[in-house]
Amino acid sequence: MDREVFQEQFGLLGKSPAVRQVVDKIMQVSRTDITVLLQGESGVGKDVTARAIHGMSERKHKNLVIVNCGAIPEGIIESELFGHEKGAFTGANDSREGYFEKANGGTIFLDEIGDTPKNVQVKLLRVLENGEFFRVGSSKIQTTDARVIAATNKDLWELVQEGSFREDLYYRLDTVQIHLPPLRERPEDIIEIFRKFVQEFSARYDSTFKGFSDEARELLISYRWPGNIRELRNVAEQLVVLEKSQFIDKERLQKYLKGRQHEGSADNLPMVSDKSQRSESSQSDFGHRDREMIYRALVNLGNDMGDVKKMLASMMYSNFPNKNYTALPPAVQSNYEDELDKEDLSIDLGNHASLGLRKRPESEENEPEYVAEESSELAQFLDGDEIPSIEETEQFLIRKALEKFDGNRRKASETLGISERTLYRKLDQYGLA
């Protein structure tokens, strides 16, 4: 089958070299029974890719069973995958087939395989190796002939190194790996994909799309699309429905871009406003918007602390290009030492002791400023050449939030911007309970 016909049939959108490589690999492995591991960020189309592999295989007339391993509670995932016998546990009133039995002769797609509990991983390994498994509550061996396609948005090898994923299962899954590139790495595909979505939704909702300006087009391409194709599809649908028969300019489009910034940037950090547009008074201190951006970045538990440091340094320099300052913390300053000729940086963040600042005595300077306390826990945490891992950052912020609210988990979770359920899971994960 021709590549373009194949892409059109299965909805694999894009003509960039990265997409062509993915499609070629899919076409190579589809007609075999080899295990495939799809790796890529959330929203890049791993489910669409799995459907394409199944649809091109000799098993296409049998079932494609899709399982989101991350969405199944740990207590029942074994029963869901392998089935159970009557009376195996409370509520098991009848025998039940599991997903592997339903996929017999066809394909089973294990999405978010990295979230599978370790006690289930060993049973997955056995199924992958010889097709054998036990139903919960039974000692009778069951067999299945199901092709396995797995997917993850995590680095499975890192999970192996951390001890949360079995190494033998990793090697068994990693027979053929297909990396699905994020949308930001193939900007040449964005407009084409957007137009296809607009055509689809215009026909579905009997609406007319009037097009968009050059500036809006540039924003579509430069925006980082943290939600990838899923986010692009949602934006297209919203514009067709909510901006019916309207010409889309940059300002109108910005309302629908929900990522950490709306104008696109090289590193997907929160946007720093153009310093040429700042008034003299606004350069005398950090505005409310800048402080809010710092806090939001610090409490975003999924954010890389290296990005936070870069953002802080960028804000300092863009707000105060002509003053002598002391860096907060020193590790942040190192990002800009060359540009600033190793001049000291210092910033006024207002009365926010939680960032580890103290007011410089006015006798030391003509203007009141704020400098980092040497004993500040935040400064000590960020200081140094070694960037803390995401896990270390999470633990630090969780501890500080719980200390601040005397162990009140509801208030701590609200401050951290996560649910209480997620906080409880993190406490258990890091042994902080």
CATH number, residue 223: 1.10.8.60
Are both 53 and 148 inside the same structural domain?
A: yes
Q: 103 in a domain, yes or no?
A: yes
Are both 158 and 224 inside the same structural domain?
A: no
- pLDDT at residue 284 tops 50: no
**Domain boundary pick from 254, 285, 316:** 254
Are both 163 and 223 inside the same structural domain?
A: no
Query: Cα(160)–Cα(171) distance, rounded to whole angstroms?
Result: 10
Are both 376 and 311 inside the same structural domain?
A: yes
Are both 227 and 163 inside the same structural domain?
A: no
CATH number, residue 424: 1.10.10
Query: Cα(28)–Cα(43) distance, rounded to whole angstroms?
Result: 24
Cβ–Cβ < 8 Å for 183, 41: no
Q: 262 in a domain, yes or no?
A: no
Q: 97 in a domain, yes or no?
A: yes
Phi-psi region of 91 (alpha: psi -120 to 50; beta: other; left: phi over 0): left
DSSP of 100-151:
HHHTTTSEEEEETGGGS-HHHHHHHHHHHHHSEEE-BT--SEEE---EEEEE
Are both 35 and 137 inside the same structural domain?
A: yes
What total number of domains does the chain contain?
Answer: 4
Are both 201 and 296 inside the same structural domain?
A: no
- pLDDT at residue number 427: 85
Residue 337: which domain range? 275-382
Task: For residue range 79-134, list pLDDT tens digits in order.
Answer: 999 999 988 888 888 889 999 999 999 999 999 999 999 999 999 999 999 999 99
Q: Which of the residue ranges 15-29, 164-178, 188-202, 345-359 would you say has the lowest mean pLDDT?
A: 345-359
The crossing angle, in degrees rounded to 10, of helices 288-299 and 305-319 is 170
**Domain boundary pick from 193, 224, 254:** 254
Phi, psi torsion values for 263, nearest 5 degrees: -120, 5
Quickly count: other Cβ atoms within 10 Å of residue 14's Cβ: 22
Q: Which residue has the tokens 């300052």?
A: 325
Task: For residue range 12-25, list pLDDT tens digits in order.
Answer: 989 999 999 999 99
Quick check: helix, strand or coil at residue 176?
strand
Cβ–Cβ < 8 Å for 320, 331: no
Are both 210 and 250 inside the same structural domain?
A: yes
